[in-house]
Homo-oligomer: A and B are copies of this chain.
Amino acid sequence: MNDQRQGKVPSVHDVARIADVSIGTVSRVINDSPGVKPATRQRVLAAIDELDYSPNLIARSMTSKRTGSIGVIVPFFTRPFFMEVLRAVEVTITQAGRELVLYNVQTNDQCDSYFRKLPKQRKVDGLLVISIFPDDAAAAGFKHAGMPVVLVDAYHPLLTSLVVDNIEGAYQAVKSLIEHGHRRIGFINGIIEGDFRFNRANDRLIGLHRAFGEAALLFEPELVLTAEWDRQGGRRAALQLLTRADRPTAIFAASDMHAIGVLEAARSLNIAVPTDLSLIGYDGIELSEIMELSTVQQPMKYMGELGVQKLIAQIEGSADGGSPPELIRLQPSLMMRRTITTLPPLNEATNT
């Protein structure tokens, strides 16, 4: 029925013409501002309906300086931990009627580039940064551009940060292993990727040290390995650990994916879990439940939800200088499942 058939999207002008009003009135109807006579409102509505008109959001962003989009910067988004955070993030953003722009980062450069450019490009109203520690320059850039930012599983003094006490989580895990009678405990840590920025590794090591210290256990550096954050990494490290003459009776892994790798290695070496080897993972991803893996559960869903909520609050209240940055601490919790057993009491003098 329409005369034009290709790529012509109607604008306020078209609506105005059809409804025989001015564009100002059309705009008022769209945003249901007060002071439009019901009759003309109806005419405009009819015209909108006839043309199947929707406002051009880009143009609207021009004047409103709001895009309705939230940028999510996340490293390796397909990894289970990030995935599960991201799921909660998506739900919360959609519920808020906003859109999610995904910035997946795999390298430091990529990350820096996003940190530097996104605040000024204005394609998003705010940035949710997951598991990445921005440096001072980046934080200053956000502030200077007035770009709202919330850090999830990361920290910077100038930015609202939502952190999980992973020192405590690792401490609890290792302590539990010790309480189950283990003395030779292997630790498979994740590598620190991209210099110091995607830092999920250090805290685990510190927690382990604390538990060791408290139990007056000797820390043996040979039992601490570093591996890629995936099951291949975990498997390789476990192979190395488990083929030692004095192999550990328990392994603590920095992530559940590492722990899955440990499981694979143990199977290939005919080492029964938990009979001959106890194992605790980290994160509490869904797969850990399928595999009945004991683990340290992070509140991933809550992190995602709360992070988005804080960010939206910041966006909507950003008329003034904004409220001061918050630091929110979350606690992980130890999930005891199938992969851990008490070691029969053997003569503990061996260790000295």
A: residues with CB less than 8 A from B are 5-9, 52-59, 61-62, 67, 69, 77-78, 83-84, 86-87, 90, 94, 99-104, 117, 119-123, 144-146, 231, 260, 264, 287, 290, 318, 321
Check B77 against A90 for contact (C-beta < 8 Å): yes
User: Per a CB cutoff under 8 Å, which of B69, B146, B287 touches A7?
Assistant: B146
User: Per a CB cutoff under 8 Å, which of B5, B123, B260, B290 touches A144?
Assistant: B5
Question: Chain B residue with minimal CB distance to A117?
Answer: B54
User: Using Cβ atoms and an 8 Å threshold, which residues of chain B touch A119?
Assistant: 9
Check A67 against B58 for contact (C-beta < 8 Å): yes
Check A122 against B78 for contact (C-beta < 8 Å): no
Check A145 against B57 for contact (C-beta < 8 Å): no
Check B104 against A102 for contact (C-beta < 8 Å): no
The 10 closest A-B pairs by CB, nearest first: A7-B146, A54-B120, A57-B121, A78-B87, A100-B102, A58-B61, A57-B123, A56-B122, A102-B102, A90-B104
Check A83 against B78 for contact (C-beta < 8 Å): yes
Whole-angstrom distance between the Cβ of A145 and the nearest chain B Cβ: 6
Q: Measured between alpha carbons, how far is A318 from B67 in the docked complex, in Å?
A: 25
Q: A69-B101, A94-B104 are in contact. List 19 more A-B contacts (CB 8 A).
A: A7-B318, A8-B146, A53-B120, A56-B120, A57-B123, A58-B58, A58-B67, A58-B123, A69-B123, A77-B90, A78-B83, A78-B86, A99-B103, A99-B123, A100-B101, A100-B102, A101-B101, A101-B102, A287-B287
Q: Measured between alpha carbons, how far is A84 from B78 in the docked complex, in Å?
A: 8
User: Per a CB cutoff under 8 Å, which of B9, B101, B145, B264 touches A145?
Assistant: B9
User: Using Cβ atoms and an 8 Å threshold, which residues of chain B touch A120?
Assistant: 9, 52-54, 56
User: Using Cβ atoms and an 8 Å threshold, which residues of chain B touch A8?
Assistant: 146
**Contact A58-B145, Cβ < 8 Å, known A90-B104, A102-B100, A102-B102:** no
Q: Measured between alpha carbons, how far is A102 from B93 in the docked complex, in Å?
A: 11
User: Using Cβ atoms and an 8 Å threshold, which residues of chain B touch A59?
Assistant: 62
User: Using Cβ atoms and an 8 Å threshold, which residues of chain B touch A321?
Assistant: 6
User: Using Cβ atoms and an 8 Å threshold, which residues of chain B touch A90?
Assistant: 77, 102, 104
User: Using Cβ atoms and an 8 Å threshold, which residues of chain B touch A87?
Assistant: 77-78
Q: Measured between alpha carbons, how far is A318 from B101 in the docked complex, in Å?
A: 24
Whole-angstrom distance between the Cβ of A2 and the nearest chain B Cβ: 8
Question: Chain B residue with minimal CB distance to A321?
Answer: B6
Residue of A55, A57, A86 with most partner-chain B CB within 10 A: A57
Whole-angstrom distance between the Cβ of A137 and the nearest chain B Cβ: 11
Check B104 against A101 for contact (C-beta < 8 Å): no
A-B contact pairs, 5 of them (CB 8 A): A54-B120, A57-B121, A67-B123, A99-B123, A100-B101
Question: Chain B residue with minimal CB distance to A91?
Answer: B104
User: Using Cβ atoms and an 8 Å threshold, which residues of chain B touch A290?
Assistant: 231, 260, 264
Check A121 against B56 for contact (C-beta < 8 Å): yes
